[in-house]
Amino acid sequence: MSPFRTRFAPSPTFYLHLGHAASALHVWRRAADADGEVLLRIEDIDTTRCRPEYTAAIYEDLAWLGLTWPEPVRVQSEHFSDYEAVVEALTRRGLTYRCFRTRSALAELPDPRRPGPHAPDEETELLDGGGPFARRLSLSACREELGDAWEALSFTERTPQGLVTRTADPMCEGDLVLARKDSPSAYHVAATHDDALQGVTDIIRGEDLIDAPHVQTLLQTLMGWPAPVYEHHSLVLDETGQKLSKRQQSISLASLRADGMTADQIRSRLGFS
């Protein structure tokens, strides 16, 4: 059996908050219980929102919580050519198409799971005067290429009841955006590429990403990458029952620290003492 290796992969779009601390503490505890290791990965592919000061704060906050990780840390923005190579490989196999619809135009398309002319292809380009807006994965082409393997797509999830095999529904997000005009790689491409490259055996993350294995399994199958085991933990909610979110400017770990809170107090508040 391969050794247990997981990762914590925050996106530096703002300062980490209590929800990230809970997730990180959960991931590190799971790895310790399994006698495994945790890699830290900086998922800064969204060049419009990520900032170096947030990356620096991630290192500082996690170290303050007493967490350690092997060096060097993989910083995704330093590896765009790796992700472009994945998109090119899929394109050479005829599995992608250029999409000229903008994000908002795409949102108005019918549910991708319903039959109909939902998959925009080059004949249905909506020209906006610029180049293609995105490169997308053609699920119909993938289905054709995989044949019977398409129907058999599945992934393993670790639940409190044990390991469960789930049927993957790669149609759940429609034709996946692989790269956009303003970003050479989309999250699913970079994350699955790096999980394979880094030998990640177990992916442990919040249940806000509970649907991600459906499409990530498809990418892993297409690229011949190993299938990790998935595990989802519950999210920290605020007093109104909403999940904490960076964008809502939830109280950052940095500001709690500046207010004199100790790492031990954070741990015990989150149930990790």
Applying CB under 6 A, which residues contact ligand GLU? Answer: 9-11, 43, 191, 205, 209
Nearer to ligand GLU, 144 or 211 (CB): 211
Residue 187 burial by CB count (10 A; 0-12/13-18/19+): exposed, middle or buried? buried
- Give the pair of three-digit tokens for residue 158: 């670790």
Considering just the CA atoms, what is the radius of gyration of the chain in Å?
A: 20
Least distance CB 191 / ligand GLU (angstroms)? 5
Nearer to ligand GLU, 101 or 214 (CB): 214
Nearer to ligand GLU, 58 or 99 (CB): 58
Distance CA 217, CA 167 (A): 10
Nearer to ligand GLU, 10 or 120 (CB): 10
Least distance CB 200 / ligand GLU (angstroms)? 10
Nearer to ligand GLU, 11 or 138 (CB): 11
Distance CA 178, CA 137 (A): 7
Least distance CB 247 / ligand GLU (angstroms)? 12
Distance CA 161, CA 185 (A): 36
Contact between residue 124 and residue 117 where contact means Cβ atoms under 8 Å apart = yes
Least distance CB 11 / ligand GLU (angstroms)? 4
Least distance CB 230 / ligand GLU (angstroms)? 10
Q: 103: part of which helix (H) or strand (E)?
A: helix 103-107
